[in-house]
Amino acid sequence: MTTPFFFSADSFGNATATPRPSIFPPAVVRGIVRPDGGLSTVDTQDALDVFNMAVGETGSFAYDQSSQGLKSTQQLNVDWSDFSQHVFYNSAQVKVNAAVTKIIDGFPFDGTRKEYELFRDGLTGFEHYVLQQFPKNKGYLWFKGSTSSPDPVTEGTYVTVLDRAGLSYPLLTPDPNGSSRLDPLSSSCTFQFWIWPATGSANSVVFERVSGSYGFGCNITASNSSPSAELVFYVISGSSNYAMSASVVVDKMTWSNVGFVWDRDIPELRGYLSGNLIGISSQSVEISSAPSVANLLIGSGSGMPAIGYTPTMTFSGALDEFRYFKTAVDESVLQQYLKTNIYPAYSFTSSSAVTEERALSNVPDSRLSVYLKLNEPASTSNALVIDSSGQGMHGYLNTYAFSTIGVRNYLTASLPSGQSPMTYERSGSCPVLFPDHPDVVSMKETLLEDAASYDTENPSHIVKLVPAQYLQYGKTLFAQETEEGDLNE
């Protein structure tokens, strides 16, 4: 077969022929982007990424061509706030309750991008309208440091992630079999998070996973009066009495994005600030003989006295978007997802590390082990810290922070740390799903009030088409207060 050519002119006006690029190998998706200069360029995206989207799925319409037929009532030009346009014989109150329950019970807060898109596109038009009414929260967790003696670890604010799948919240954990999902085994590790050290921050633990004299973690080295703080990530092996570390210096009272990569293939530790490489430790240490089960503490810990470091207080300041990967994440990827949320799949790593089989299976990648968005809003009535990694490694606040200090009563936007640094975090991916949260209760009550008013006025309501004596009989038989019974429950 003859290779097709296309023609262009060189700088001297002479026509030149070059082979036309192949469409199929390698598999790419071509999209036109327009920079500020108005010039069109071709941007290529690895086809594996498309497998993690709802492209071509029969249950999704988001990527359909405009010429394709309707798949969802979301595509209809209907004012879903007006019950008269979509509720006829049914009860509007029942429709509201069913939509709210479906969203709270089924929203894939720890799902892949495809799972999120299929859930969103699978909603009816009214259910999607209700989802849009749900309160959203893009926040962070405030840590009130404590220096109480003799043991500051018992107070202050910290989060515990138990290294037993399903032990804390079995109903929220995929396959809650009690296994360890935090042990890196022989894998490399990456930690990335936003940190805002308070002005009084001193020696404290940001996070650690240790057992005896084995483990890894991140400490703050600073004095109360210093305007900056040094974050030191360390790995220690008690068997060899050997440690290696990498450090990053950040300003207090300022949000900074910090990343640490423990690359065991090279081997080395790398420290990143805002996705840019800051420091490298070329020392090598292995912890393969460490106990496989150890909890992850965030905001507190022992500080590893074996390396001569003892914290003087629990962490004081704020943390946001805490991510723990069991792989060495590329610098470009750290930068790409600096201010936006990620999905628990393979998009955070290089395409060469992902097989097509995994992409097609749409199974959350176990290399993302912990993903705490820390978006739990003020007035949340429980200590749950949601893990969105797909591994079900949910954490919980310590009792002192939750009950005594009441950190869940703080409105983060009013704190000295201000707004969340996650500027481009998609609000649609962080609805408040706690059913007893005041904002959720208020939203539901508003919808139910409108629905009850409509049901009263709707002449076609199914209840009004039933002979009155049957409803009176049912009211007496089941000891209900009204003929409608518990219709709006």
Q: Which candidate, 158, 181, 137, places its Cα nearest to that of 428? A: 137
**11 pLDDT exceeds 60?**
no
Question: Rounded mean pLDDT of the chain?
Answer: 80
Q: How far apart are CA 328 and CA 326, in angstroms?
A: 7
**197 pLDDT exceeds 90?**
yes
Tell me the average pLDDT across 76-87.
94
The pLDDT value recorded for residue 43 is 40
Q: How far apart are CA 88 and CA 144, in angstroms?
A: 53
Domain 141-424 - what CATH class?
mainly beta
**Are the C-beta atoms of 205 and 297 separated by less than 8 Å?**
yes
The pLDDT value recorded for residue 256 is 97
- Interhelix angle 92-106/125-133, nearest 10 degrees: 70
The pLDDT value recorded for residue 470 is 83
Confidence grade of residue 61 (pLDDT, cut at 50, 70, 90): confident
The pLDDT value recorded for residue 289 is 52
Q: Among 72-86, 285-299, 345-359, 407-421, where is mean pLDDT lowest? A: 345-359
Helices (H), 381-437: 399
**318 pLDDT exceeds 60?**
yes
**394 pLDDT exceeds 90?**
yes
Tell me the average pLDDT across 467-482.
84
Percent of the chain at pLDDT exceeding 70:
77
**37 vs 435, more confident:** 435
The pLDDT value recorded for residue 34 is 39
Encoded tokens for 30 = 């071509």
Q: What is the CA radius of gyration of the chain?
A: 27
The pLDDT value recorded for residue 138 is 92
Encoded tokens for 251 = 């300003």
Give pLDDT tens digits for 220-277.
Answer: 988 777 889 999 998 887 755 567 788 899 999 999 999 999 998 888 899 999 999 9
**Are the C-beta atoms of 303 and 309 separated by less than 8 Å?**
yes
The pLDDT value recorded for residue 131 is 96
Q: Which candidate, 410, 366, 373, places its Cα nearest to that of 388? A: 373
Residue with tokens 């004596």: 469
Residue intervals of the chain classified under CATH 2.60.120.200 are: 141-424
Residue 160 phi/psi, 5-degree rounding, is -115, 125
HSE-CB of 173 using CA atoms within 13 angstroms: 25
Confidence grade of residue 154 (pLDDT, cut at 50, 70, 90): low
The pLDDT value recorded for residue 225 is 77
Q: Which candidate, 368, 356, 28, 62, places its Cα nearest to that of 191? A: 368
Tell me the average pLDDT across 33-48.
43
Burial bucket for residue 12 (CB in 10 Å: 0-12, 13-18, 19+) = exposed
Confidence grade of residue 194 (pLDDT, cut at 50, 70, 90): very high
**147 vs 33, more confident:** 147
Residues 6+ apart with CB under 8 A from 41: 32, 33, 35
**20 pLDDT exceeds 80?**
no
Q: Most confidently modeled of 162-171, 301-310, 429-438, 469-478? A: 429-438
- How many Å from the N-terminal Cα to the C-terminal Cα in the chain? 70
**205 vs 224, more confident:** 205
User: 276-281 and 189-197 as β-strands: parallel, antiparallel, unpaired?
Assistant: unpaired
The pLDDT value recorded for residue 13 is 45
**Are the C-beta atoms of 208 and 215 separated by less than 8 Å?**
yes
Confidence grade of residue 7 (pLDDT, cut at 50, 70, 90): very low
**41 vs 408, more confident:** 408
The pLDDT value recorded for residue 292 is 64
Percent of the chain at pLDDT exceeding 90:
40
Confidence grade of residue 344 (pLDDT, cut at 50, 70, 90): confident
The pLDDT value recorded for residue 268 is 87
Give DSSP secondary structure letters for 166-202. Answer: TSS-GGGSSS------S--TT--EEEEEEEEE-TT--
Q: Which candidate, 224, 203, 318, 217, places its Cα nearest to that of 269? A: 217
Burial bucket for residue 455 (CB in 10 Å: 0-12, 13-18, 19+) = buried
Instruction: Tell me how crowded residue 398 is: count the other CB atoms within 10 A of its CB.
Output: 23
**146 pLDDT exceeds 50?**
yes
Q: Which candidate, 371, 370, 328, places its Cα nearest to that of 350? A: 328
Q: Among 13-17, 46-50, 114-118, 372-376, where is mean pLDDT lowest? A: 13-17
**36 vs 89, more confident:** 89
Encoded tokens for 386 = 């949601």
Question: What is the four-CA torsion angle of 87, 88, 90, 94, rounded to 10 degrees?
Answer: 20
**Are the C-beta atoms of 145 and 201 separated by less than 8 Å?**
yes
